[in-house]
Copies of this chain bind each other. A is one copy, B any other.
Amino acid sequence: MSKYRDDQIKQFAEIFKALSNPNRLRMFLHLVTCCVPGTVGSFDAEAGVSACVGDLGRDLDIVPSTVSHHIKELHRAGLIRMERRGQKIECWVDPVILRGLARFFEEPLTT
């Protein structure tokens, strides 16, 4: 039997659903490789290591309303944080959840 509670399993399933669309996964990877505070580059509330919605849609060949929809899904799953800064809305990856996902797949290999 699993070490995870039922609600935790549902939460992980939500996370994986958010990452199950190739375009959404690309956005997530874009953020992961540039915008994880405290790891790749330091996060400064002023400077902000992050990307706005427009940045994430570039090179993806989908219209802004679809980008917005995908970002909302990533946010709902708890994968990213968002904050308005002027006209733009900045996004970055929540490092806590990233660590939790790493452990999810690591642990069965080490225990």
SS class, residues of chain A in contact with chain B: helix
Contact of A20 among B13, B22, B101 (CB under 8 A): B13
C-alpha spacing A99/B33, complex, angstroms:
20
C-alpha spacing A32/B106, complex, angstroms:
11
- Among the listed stretches A3-11, A42-50, A61-69, A83-91, which one makes contact with chain B, having 4 or more residues with CB under 8 Å of it? A3-11
Instruction: Sort A-B residue pairs by CB-CB distance and give the 4 closest, nearest first.
Output: A17-B20, A102-B105, A16-B19, A101-B105
Which A residues form the contact surface with B (CB < 8 A)?
1-4, 9-10, 12-14, 16-17, 19-22, 25-26, 29-30, 32-33, 36, 39-40, 93, 95, 98-99, 101-102, 104-106, 108-111
